[in-house]
Amino acid sequence: MFGEKGYNLIKELARSEDNLPPYNSDLVNEISHEITKQFEENRDDAQNSTIDGSESLLLNTIRIRNGASKRNIRCLMAYHYNRLKCLRTMRWEFGSILPPDIKANLSSDELEWFSNYSKTLVNYMKSIGEDGINLAVDLKPPKALYIEVQCLVDYGRFELSDGTMLLLKKNSRHYLPRSECEELIRQGVFKHIS
Amino acid sequence: MDLDDTNLEDLNDSNDSEDYVHITPAEVLELMEETWVNEKFAPEILPNKTEVVDIILEQIKSMEVNIKNLSNDDFTKNIYQLEVDKLRFMVTSYLRTRLEKIESYVVHILKEEEKRVEKGESKYLSEQEYKFAQDYSRSMDRYFNKIMNFCPNLTSDTWSSKVIEPNNNSFVFMKSKKTIEGLPIDITNADSDLVDIKSGSRVIICYSSIEELVKNGDVNLI
Amino acid sequence: MPLSVSYTPNYYSLEDILATQERIPCRVAQTIPKMGHLNSSSVDVDLQEGTVMEFPLWLVNEVCVSRVPILNPDLPKIYKESYREILKADACAVDLHRLNLHFYELGSYVKKFDKKNDVHQSIIDTFRSRFRQLINLADNSISDPMVQQRLDTLERKLFNDAYKARVKLNIWLEHSATVIEAANMVVNHKKRKRINLEELL
């Protein structure tokens, strides 16, 4: 049946919540190929169907193929669109530099889009107010100034905004200003102990 | 989100406050909170409130300067800092929500803005947001042109022809600031039942019925 | 952070694409040349008028709208009267998940293939009577996982949202504080890394 490949592409993406499967360029190419082929076959049949009236049944064939290629196009567009949506969320959650194993799952066009998006976002943030504003922090309403955190990795040296230097070792616990550690919690360096 | 307005006033530079004589810090704060919650719960993007955002940003700045001047031993310093953090959260959350709407409905929003300009109405997006929207939409165009260029005849199916629109028929909670009479429950139906809403009452209703009331400030989303 | 939007399928919705892949029994209304290969039980080159077989919903939607339909769709059996009677008797007892993953969304498409227009009301009634059970389920943290498995995709979505809201409310009532957490994707990324490491060992 028509549209199976497109369905598989979409199923693959829908199955993996919150993470991005490797860009499936093989399947994308096969579907693109199918669309081109359907288009060419329809063009040929369209010429034959107009020669004499008895062949007008070919119009049915053309309509079926046209429906199939529309479906293929929708699957392709939705596949790429939803991957970008996911990349966009990654920009907010990981920051402008992606972990290498995630990068490895992206196509070169996707990488280019990501860096463009990053630039667009930074330009916007810089243009707010007089000095710009960082929108990637203050994601949760503040309740307390200081919070207790546990370090999950050997992070190394970390400088607080007042100049104090800390050595962040795995499993060490710290009592720090909330504003200073929010980003590190989001990136999984710290765990917020409540 | 309760802030004691005397704190804000204390921390306000007396020079700065001359720029907005008619509005007290407490009122700005209330306005920001309303603006933020409305934006959070409205399905579509609302007219920008750059004035409010700018005042709050200035306030944050002047409060921060004042906090820096307080001695580290002053225990009120921490309390002021927490208040600044709260303000900043509200402003950034508001701006983030708007960015997300812009990204989700970019083609639709840019088209609507164009119509507003043609009609001589003011834009919903701030200047910076408008630029962001254009940049974003261009990068999407470029990306999808590359993806779909394998077949030169696919002119009708481009990214910008498949417009995603917000669902303004979704239901929202609202609180009325004044008495509203004869509000149609279903605005798309000319024979719709009408309701009267008393000032201060809270109801759940279809957003499209109260869209204009949200925009002119007669009701708040909650 | 994500916008709170009501479920509204658009061109790019993965769920809608999956739902429109469901198969609909049809009768071929006019012979379709060269399309015999769509019918695996025939060796004909053409797909003959009168053939009865299943087509995906997206194709049916595409070719049965015009004045001269190529396919005549029938209601899938789960929306037919015998099933509607079962749902009417006790909708809560039915395993919707087994009937169809996209029971409501598919139903909202195929109801137009029902000339008597009974499907429309049946779907709404089914949702109404199951909704109370759904919210009860989300409110009670110790709920029967078996019941959860009997929800369709839309119900499952509502259940998850309601359940998350309930947990958040409980935390807020008990501690009145919000814990800052690692970003969702970051957490998943770490989990996968761990799995990969285990595979290597």
Please give the average per-residue pLDDT across A153-167, as a whole number: 84
Q: Measured on CA atoms in the order C168, C170, C172, C176, is the torsion positive or negative?
A: negative
Residues in C closer than 8 angstroms to A2, CB to CB, are 38, 56, 59
Residue of A105, A76, A79, A78 whose CA lies nearest to A90 = A105
Average pLDDT over residues C8-35: 94
Tell me, yes or no, whether A64 and A113 share the same domain. Answer: yes
Residue B10: pLDDT band (50, 70, 90) is: very low
Spatial distance between the Cα atoms of C12 and B172, rounded to a whole number of angstroms: 25
- Of the candidates A98, A126, A154, which is a domain's last residue? A126
Q: What confidence score (pLDDT) does residue B13 get?
A: 45
Mean pLDDT on B37-52 = 96
Chains that touch A (3 or more CB pairs under 8 A): B, C
Structure tokens at C12: 């790019």
Q: Are residues A48 and A88 in the same domain?
A: yes
In a domain, A135, yes or no: no
Query: What letters, b where the CB count within 10 A reaches 16 and e where it falls short, cover C108-133?
Result: ebbbebbeeeebeebbeebbeebeeb
**Alpha-helical regions (H) of C140-183:** 145-148, 153-175
Question: In this complex, is the C-beta atom of C67 within 8 Å of any C-beta atom belonging to chain A?
Answer: no
**Would the CB atoms of B170 and C1 count as touching at under 8 Å?**
no
Asked if residue A150 and residue A121 are part of one domain, the reply reads no
Confidence (pLDDT) at B198: 93
The predicted structure's pLDDT at residue B20: 46
Compute the nearest-CA separation of C50 from chain A (Å).
Answer: 14
Q: Which two tokens stand for residue B141?
A: 């165009």
Chain-centre distance for alpha carbon B77: 30
Residue A89 contacts C, CB cutoff 8 Å: yes
Partnered with residue B220 across adjacent β-strands are B175
Q: Report the alpha-carbon distance of residue C39 to residue C46 in Å, rounded.
A: 10
Q: Would you tell me how many other CB atoms lie within 10 Å of the CB of residue C155?
A: 21
Residue that wins the pLDDT comparison between C19 and C4: C19
| Per-residue pLDDT, B11 | 45
Amino acid at C187: V
Where does the pLDDT of residue B1 fall: very low under 50, low under 70, confident under 90, or very high at 90 and above? very low
Q: Which H or E run includes B173?
A: strand B171-176
* Pick from A76, A127, A138: CB nearest B88: A138
Domains defined along chain C, listed by start: 12-74 (1.20.58.2050), 77-201 (1.20.58.2050)
Sign of CA dihedral C111, C115, C120, C126: negative
DSSP summary character for residue C32: B
Decide if B46 contacts B39 (C-beta within 8 A).
yes
Radius of gyration of chain A (CA): 26
Cβ neighbourhood burial of B32 (10 Å; 0-12, 13-18, 19+): buried
Residues 6+ apart with CB under 8 A from C45: C33, C34, C36
Of A16-25, A50-59, B187-196, give the range with the top mean pLDDT.
A16-25
Is C180 an interface residue toward B (CB < 8 Å)? Answer: no
Q: Is residue A103 part of a domain?
A: yes
Distance, CA of A29 to chain centre: 20
CB contact under 8 A, A35 and B151: yes
Please provide the size of chain A in residues: 194
> Partners for C (CB, 8 Å, 3+ pairs)?
A, B
Shortest distance between the Cα of A170 and any Cα of chain B, in A, equals 29
Average pLDDT over residues A55-62: 83
Q: Which of A109-113, B141-145, B178-182 has the highest mean pLDDT?
A: A109-113
The pLDDT-based confidence of C142 (bands split at 50, 70, 90) is low
- Selecting from C2, C5, C12 the residue whose C-beta is nearest the C-beta of B167 gives C5
Give the amino acid at B52.
Answer: V
**Quick count: other Cβ atoms within 10 Å of Cβ B193?**
9
In a domain, A136, yes or no: no
The confidence score (pLDDT) of residue A88 equals 95
Q: Is residue A141 part of a domain?
A: no
Asked if pLDDT for residue B5 goes beyond 60, the answer is no
DSSP C83-142: HHHHHHHHGGGS-HHHH-TTHHHHHHHHGGG-TT--HHHHHHHHHHHHHHHHHHHHH-SS
Average pLDDT, chain A: 89
Residue whose tokens read 């919705």: C13
The CA distance from B169 to B207, in Å, is 6
Residue A53 shares a structural domain with residue A93: yes
Query: Residue A38: inside a domain, yes or no?
Result: yes
What is the spatial distance between Cα B166 and Cα B176, in angstroms, rounded to a whole number?
23
Q: Provide the pLDDT for residue A17.
A: 72
Q: Dig out the tokens for C32 from the structure.
A: 């379709």
Q: Three-state SS string across A67-89, please?
A: HHHHHHHHHHHHHHHHHHHHHHH
Please list, residue by residue across B37-71, b when 16 or more beta carbons sit within 10 angstroms of its beta carbon and e when fewer do: bbbebbbbbbebbeebbbbbbbbbbbbeebbeeee
Quick check: C78 and C86 in contact, CB under 8 A?
no
User: What is the value of pTM for the model shown?
Assistant: 0.86
Of residues C11, C18, C38, nearest to A11 (C-beta)? C18
Decide if pLDDT at A153 tops 70.
yes
Chain center to CA of C120: 16
CATH number at residue A42: 1.20.58.1030
Exposed e or buried b for every residue in B93-132, given b needs 16+ CB within 10 A?
Answer: bbbbbbbbbbbbbbbbbbebbeeeeeeeeeebbbebbbeb
Amino acid at B22: H
> Do A118 and A156 belong together in one domain?
no
- pLDDT for position C116: 86
A53 and A115, same domain (yes or no):
yes
Is residue B199 very low, low, confident or very high in pLDDT (cuts 50, 70, 90)?
very high
3-state secondary structure of A158: strand
CATH of the domain at A189: 3.40.5
- Residue C20 backbone phi and psi in degrees, to 5: -80, 0
How far B105 CA lies from chain A's nearest CA (Å)? 12
Segment holding B219, helix H or strand E: strand B219-221
**In this structure, are A84 and A180 located in the same domain?**
no
- Of A69, A97, A126, the last residue of a domain is A126
pLDDT of residue A52: 60
Cα–Cα distances (Å) from C121 to A53, C99, C153, in that order, read 45, 18, 20
The per-residue pLDDT for C178 is 66
Residue of A32, A70, A133 with shortest CB distance to B92: A133
pLDDT of residue B6: 41
CB pairs under 8 A between A and B: 98
pLDDT of residue B9: 47
Q: To the nearest whole number, what is the mean pLDDT of chain C?
A: 87
Q: What does the pLDDT read at residue C200?
A: 56
Mean pLDDT calculated for residue range B9-29: 59
For the segment C168-200, what is each residue's pLDDT rounded down to a tens digit? 888 888 776 667 777 888 888 877 777 666 665
Structure confidence at residue B17 as a pLDDT band (50, 70, 90): very low
> What would the pLDDT profile of B21-39 be if each residue is shown by its tens digit?
567 778 888 999 999 999 9
- What sign does the dihedral C168-C171-C176-C182 (CA atoms) show? negative
Residue A21 lies in a domain: yes
Quick one: A31 and A95 in the same domain?
yes
Count CA within 13 A, CB hemisphere, residue C82.
3
Q: What residue numbers bound the domain in which A30 lies?
A: 4-126
Per-residue pLDDT, C198: 64
What count of residues does chain C have? 201
Whether A81 and A159 map to the same domain: the answer is no
Q: How confident is the model at residue A121 (pLDDT cuts 50, 70, 90)?
A: very high
pLDDT beyond 70 at C6: yes
Using 50, 70 and 90 to split pLDDT, how confident is the model at B164? Answer: very high
Percent of chain A residues topping a pLDDT of 90: 51
Q: How many domains does chain A have?
A: 2
Assess if residue A134 is contained within a domain: no
CA distance C8 to chain B (A): 7
Domain shared by A29 and A98, yes or no: yes
Does the pLDDT at position C123 exceed 70? Answer: yes
How many CA atoms does the CB half-sphere of A32 hold within 13 Å?
Answer: 16
Residues A32 and A122 grouped into a single domain: yes
| Domains within chain B, CATH numbers bracketed | 5-104 (1.20.58.1030), 106-161 (no CATH), 171-221 (3.40.5.60)
Residue A140, in any domain of the structure: no
- From chain A, the residues in CB contact with C37 under 8 A are none
Question: What mean pLDDT do residues A34-53 have?
Answer: 83
At C20, is the secondary structure helix, strand, or coil?
A: coil
Q: Are residues A160 and A87 in the same domain?
A: no
Structure-token match 């006790």, residue found:
C90
Whole-Å CA distances, A96 to A92, A99, A121, C183: 8, 10, 10, 14
CB proximity C176 to B under 8 Å: no
CB of C31 less than 8 A from some CB of A: yes
Given a cut of 90, whether residue C126 has pLDDT beyond it is yes
Per-residue model confidence as pLDDT tens digits over B62-106: 888 888 888 777 778 878 888 888 899 999 999 999 999 999 999
Any B CB within 8 A of C142 CB:
no
